[in-house]
Amino acid sequence: MKELSLNEKLSRIQIEFKANKSRFNSFGKYNFRSAEDILEGLKPFNEKYGVSFTITEELVTNDFVANTIPMMKSTATIFDNNGINELSATAIVGVDLNQKGMQVPQQFGSASSYAKKYALGNLLLIDDTQDADAANKHDKTDSANNAPTDDKKWLNKNTPEFSKSIEYLKGGGNIEAIEKKYKLAKAVKDELLKVK
């Protein structure tokens, strides 16, 4: 039987690969997969196809521009165990040093986790539309005709939901997820946009 090339091995892994979404986002109420989940899901393929995977990280800065955002660059690589061939994919994520509620190591750790996840996703062709992280639908739909309904609650200042939304944004969340769950008056949205 003909030995598979690394491209053929990767193609088969991309087709066969499944990773559990073992993490839960309590704000958005959805499950998602982390870089660790992806790595755990890859382990059986090491022996099956005679490959190994690595992730390297690098801090990327622009020395020519003052006050630039530090970036984490992650590279996910598959190696053929013959020691000759390799294929890589990268992802770059900014580190938000103004993110309230996080220590600097947490800010870098969060960016690192996202960069690793997206580098692995690029290498393995993980379809973001199938990942609740990217395709969560906080809005409700009418089951009869699959049309969006407008029964979202208004998000008001000085409410537990507003406080929870602020904490979500401080933890790296995005305003779009909040808008899918609540109706936002301009003043409320402006207030939330100040958080970071």
Q: Is residue 128 within 8 Å of 135, Cβ to Cβ?
A: yes
- Name the strand (E) or helix (H) holding 58: strand 51-60
Pick from 112, 116, 118, 100: nearest CA to 70: 112
Q: Are residues 120 and 40 in the same domain?
A: yes
Q: Are residues 5 and 50 in the same domain?
A: yes
Q: Are residues 118 and 148 in the same domain?
A: no
Q: What domain count does the chain have?
A: 2
Series of mean pLDDT values for 10-residue runs along the chain (196 residues): 87 88 76 85 93 94 68 95 91 86 86 92 74 42 43 76 79 80 80 79
Q: Are residues 143 and 126 in the same domain?
A: no
pTM of the model: 0.60
